[in-house]
Amino acid sequence: MGPIRVAWLGHATVVIELDGVRVLTDPLLQKHAGPLRRRTPQPDPAQWRGVDAVLVSHLHHDHAQLRSLRQVAGRPLLSAAPNVEWMRRRHLADAVALDNERWTRIARNVEVRQVRADHQHRPMPRRPNAANGHVLRGPSGTVWVAGDTSLYPEMSAMAEIAGGGIDLALVPIGGWGPRL
């Protein structure tokens, strides 16, 4: 069907194009998230406009900034059930719960499945933080978006979980500071 295309918009925000389906990950579309400031230009809306779905790995402000989530309203916001409940209470009606057992069709022949992420974190006041990664698959390939995670033993089974090989893995490399 075509190559997998990826456009990095900064931090954990990526646009993935797979078989004509465009997916945005962990939208941070503003110039800053609380005290964190971008060192690069703010993403141009043309880069992420018209996506078919949005993957939200967890609810830390640098992955699920409310203002950015509202900018993509009208598209399915896919995350773990506790995160979806929080988003719906904030009037993001398009939030859809995923789980680790089922594939969910995004559009055409592209589907997504939630997978484990091992994200040790401080609890956030008034926000759940069910952390997860995602696997996207379509006729042209499979993409694993790890989310914020550390290593865990079951990572070696990710290809099996995906139902075949992983063609592209988007994996964090660790750490952040006062600037994104």
The domains found in the chain, sorted by start residue, are 5-170 (3.60.15.10)
**pLDDT at res. 151:** 80
The per-residue pLDDT for range 107-130, each reduced to its tens digit, is 989 999 999 887 766 666 777 778
**pLDDT at res. 123:** 63
Cα–Cα distance measured from residue 100 to residue 4, given in angstroms and rounded to the nearest whole number: 24
The answer to whether 119 and 147 are in contact (CB under 8 A) is yes
How many CA atoms within 13 Å lie on the side-chain side of 56?
Answer: 37
The per-residue pLDDT for range 130-142, each reduced to its tens digit, is 889 999 999 999 9
The per-residue pLDDT for range 54-97, each reduced to its tens digit, is 999 978 777 778 899 999 989 999 999 999 999 899 999 999 99
* Mean pLDDT lowest among 9-23, 36-50, 64-78, 88-102: 36-50
Pair of tokens at residue 12: 């954990």
Residue 149 has pLDDT above 90, yes or no: no
The per-residue pLDDT for range 150-179, each reduced to its tens digit, is 788 888 888 998 998 999 999 876 555 555
Cα–Cα distance measured from residue 128 to residue 167, given in angstroms and rounded to the nearest whole number: 31
